[in-house]
Chain A
Amino acid sequence: MAESQGEIKYLIFLGCAIPYRVSAYELSARKVMEKLGVKLEEMPEFNCCGVPMDPISHEMMMLLAARNLCMAEKKGLNIMALCPGCTGALKKVNTMLKNDKKLKEEINKHLKEDGLEFKGTINVKHLVQVLNEDIGLEKIKATVKKPLTGLKVAEHNGCHVLRPKEYMGFDDPEDPKILKALIEVTGAECLDYMDESQCCGAPVAGVNDRIPLQLTEEKLTHVKEVGAQALITVCPFCHMMFDTNQMRIERLFNEKFGIPTLHYPQLLGLAMGLTPEELGFRELRVKPTELLKQLGLQGS
């Protein structure tokens, strides 16, 4: 493994939502990984992880995921995905194909013409898993130059970082601890709140315009109740629900939240001494002005 030689190298998998709407997550993740000495390579060719096709055709979802896995195998690199949805699809299909010879043959039949063959030689991890397992809290702590002492935040993992447990399995979905620990190494305090691991509702936004907003509104209410100054996410879809849609939710439910929602690498980046500008704070809809002022930083 590359790690044993002291160098950690991953193929970064961006997915579709991040380049479409959530560049700050990518930007901050790349900056933070660079500081941690993780080398990131680009996918040689890309297609959607398959998740949006799953309701249409499970076979097509598996084929799309398998194509990406084959690309990574060709490169001889493990995949690090930023989007939990992508992570889930790639991890699941990787495990299924590794364990089911008949299924693997079926999938390979379709990929053969493209010169691709699934062999089962790589692994897939989410950013949070890479930070926790490959780098480790100690090493991350060592990069913290400006501890975010006094800052109180809350976390929202997002469903697909945790579930289904059978395929994700690196944290307990009923009582997730890893993201919390990653937050606390920055010096910030991570508060508990009601129904922490509950879904934000984003996946049904395409078919229902009320339920997802109700779910997010409820979560924001719980986050506000415990006095969190910011919410920390690791998913582009959750981030769109909490940040992009927050003002709409405030209008719709006649509430006032004003809870800035940061991508985890933005929070870590601040603690590393990177500037809000470098970490893409400009893209946030709910401006973290107060939070930055408290940390003695200028907003961008």
Chain B
Amino acid sequence: MSEQEKTEQEKIGKKIIQASELDPKFKYEIIQMHGGEKLLMCFQCGTCTSDCPVARFSDSYRPRQIIRMTQLGLKERVLKSNTLWLCAACFTCTDRCPQGVKVADVIRTLKNIAVEEGYIPPVFKELASSILDTGYAYRIPELRLKKREQLGLPPLPRGNPESLAKLFREMELKKLLEKEGE
């Protein structure tokens, strides 16, 4: 187990739960969100964790644990945890959950709230700012565009930075990116 994972595990799972850190309303926030509707149906069978490819190689990422913590209202612990971002969104858990919980979608709603509260891994900030500037998630180098020509591939369709900037503003994401980028 790496040092990082060890501290991660201490931070999330192994610490005694204090009644004062429970937010009983948190679960109701999640079930209002797209994909989070079935959260309360989870009865902790563990199919998600046992079938999760990432969990097999991680000592801290456990989808069942994330779902239970969310049901209990351990909001701060869940949102601050780095393990949230280890979900590969392969949807194996979602497809196999006997209770119809969209596990990967619940985890995505948690990521969305984490971002609102200011926790966002740098890689997602980079992707978002590239989309905002170019329409593409990666900044495609000039050399690649020239190579397309050489290969006889048609020119790439262009993005529409103006419209995208408008959408980013409307979704209050531009501010977030600027704030984070400083």
Interface residues of A (CB under 8 A from B): 14, 16-17, 19-21, 23, 26-27, 30, 42-48, 52-60, 63-64, 67, 96, 110, 113-114, 159-160, 163-165, 173, 198-199, 201-204, 206-208, 210-211, 214-215, 280
**Chain B residues with a Cβ under 8 A of chain A:** 2, 33-35, 53-54, 57-58, 82, 85-92, 94-95, 102, 104, 108-109, 111-112, 115, 120-121, 123-124, 127-128, 131, 135-138, 140, 144, 147-148, 151, 153-154, 156-160, 163-164, 166-168, 170-171, 173
Instruction: Report the bound CA distance from A61 to B42 in whole Å.
Output: 26
A47 touches B171 (CB 8 A): no
- Kindly list chain A residues whose C-beta atoms are within 8 Å of the C-beta of B35: 58
> For residue A58, which residues in chain B have a CB less than 8 angstroms away from its CB?
33-35, 108-109, 112
Q: Which of A45, A64, A160, A165 contacts B131 (CB 8 A)?
A: A64
Additional pairs, 13, CB under 8 Å, beyond known A56-B115, A159-B90, A207-B123: A16-B136, A16-B140, A19-B148, A48-B137, A52-B131, A53-B128, A53-B131, A56-B112, A56-B120, A110-B167, A159-B92, A208-B58, A214-B57
- B86 surroundings in chain A (CB, below 8 A): 204, 207-208, 211
Expressed in whole angstroms, the Cα–Cα distance for A113 and B121 within the complex equals 32
Nearest A residue to B100, CB-CB: A166
* Selected contact of B85 from candidates A43, A55, A114, A159, CB within 8 Å: A55
Asked, given contacts A52-B128, A110-B170, A163-B95, whether A23 binds B153 with beta carbons under 8 Å apart, the answer is yes
Contact at B164–A47, with CB atoms within 8 Å? yes
Q: Judging by beta carbons under 8 Å apart, are B128 and A56 in contact?
A: yes
Whether the Cβ atoms of A48 and B120 lie closer than 8 Å is no
Q: A64-B131, A204-B88 are in contact. Are A14 and B156 (CB under 8 A)?
A: yes
**Cβ contacts under 8 Å, A214 to chain B:** 57
Assembly CA distance A109 to B56 (angstroms):
43
Shortest A178–chain B CB gap in Å is: 17
Q: Are B90 and A46 in contact (CB under 8 A)?
A: no
| A46-B124 contact in complex given A20-B144, A163-B95, C-beta closer than 8 Å | no
Cβ-defined contact, B140 with A19, below 8 A: yes
* B158 surroundings in chain A (CB, below 8 A): 45-46
A211 touches B54 (CB 8 A): yes
Closest chain-A Cβ to B75's Cβ sits at a distance in Å of 18
In the complex, the chain A residue whose C-beta lies closest to that of B127 is A52
Cβ–Cβ contact A44 & B94, under 8 A: no
* 12 chain-A/chain-B pairs, Cβ below 8 angstroms: A16-B136, A20-B144, A23-B144, A26-B153, A52-B131, A56-B115, A96-B34, A114-B160, A164-B95, A199-B90, A204-B86, A208-B86
Interface pair A55/B111, CB less than 8 Å apart: yes
CA distance A215 to B55 in the complex (A): 11
Chain A nearest Cβ from B160, distance in angstroms: 6
Most buried by A among B2, B123, B131: B131
**Smallest distance from the beta carbon of A47 to chain B beta carbons, Å?**
4
B88 proximity list for chain A (CB < 8 A): 159, 199, 201-204
In angstroms, Cα B138 to Cα A21, docked, is 10
Q: Which of A16, A27, A211 is within 8 Å of B57, CB to CB? A: A211
**B157 contacts across to A, CB distance below 8 A:** 14, 42-46
In the assembled complex, the Cα of A164 lies from the Cα of B104 at a distance in Å of: 10
